[in-house]
Amino acid sequence: AQSVTQLDSHVSVSEGTPVLLRCNYSSSYSPSLFWYVQHPNKGLQLLLKYTSAATLVKGINGFEAEFKKSETSFHLTKPSAHMSDAAEYFCVVSDLASSASKIIFGSGTRLSIRP
C-alpha cells in the first residue's frame, strides 16, 4: 500500500537560512514523487518531480529534492529562504502506471519565514 508522511506540520526559519521539509513515502511499486506548493488562497503549483531519472531533482525558485530509495525519503531543501517562500508544501506519491492507480498527498507542511 502507498502512503506518504510529512514529518513536520510546521517549519519556521529565518530569511536567508536553509530550508528542510521532510517527506517519507511507502510504495510497493516504482512511484513518481512530487512536491507542490500552495500559497495562501491559491491553488497548488508544481515545484518539482522525480520520475526515476536523476535522484537529485531541481525545481523552481531554487528548491531541490533528493530521492533516497534506501531511506524511502524525498526531502525538499533550499539553501537560502526568502520571504516569498512562506506557503504550504505538499509531498505527493503517484503510481498511476500500476493497476493501483494511486495518488496520495501528504498532510502538508506550513513554512513560515522570519524576517
Partner 1 sequence: DADVTQTPRNRITKTGKRIMLECSQTKGHDRMYWYRQDPGLGLRLIYYSFDVKDINKGEISDGYSVSRQAQAKFSLSLESAIPNQTALYFCATSDSGRDRASQGTDTQYFGPGTRLTVL
Q: Which residues sit at the interface with partner 1, rule CB under 8 A?
A: 9, 32, 34, 36, 42-46, 49, 51, 90, 94, 96, 101, 103, 105-108
H or E element in which residue 58 lies? strand 56-58
User: Smallest distance, Å, CB 43 to partner 1?
Assistant: 4
User: Smallest distance, Å, CB 80 to partner 1?
Assistant: 26
Dihedral sign computed on CA atoms, order 7, 11, 14, 15: positive
In the complex with partner 1, the residue whose CB is nearer, 17 or 107, is: 107
Please list the residues that pair with 26 across neighbouring strands.
Answer: 3
- Please choose, from the candidates 39, 12, 57, 37, the residue with its C-alpha nearest in 3D space to the C-alpha of residue 105: 37
Which residue matches cell numbers 526568502? 82
In the complex with partner 1, the residue whose CB is nearer, 2 or 72, is: 2
In the complex with partner 1, the residue whose CB is nearer, 1 or 115, is: 1
H or E element in which residue 21 lies? strand 19-21
User: Smallest distance, Å, CB 79 to partner 1?
Assistant: 25
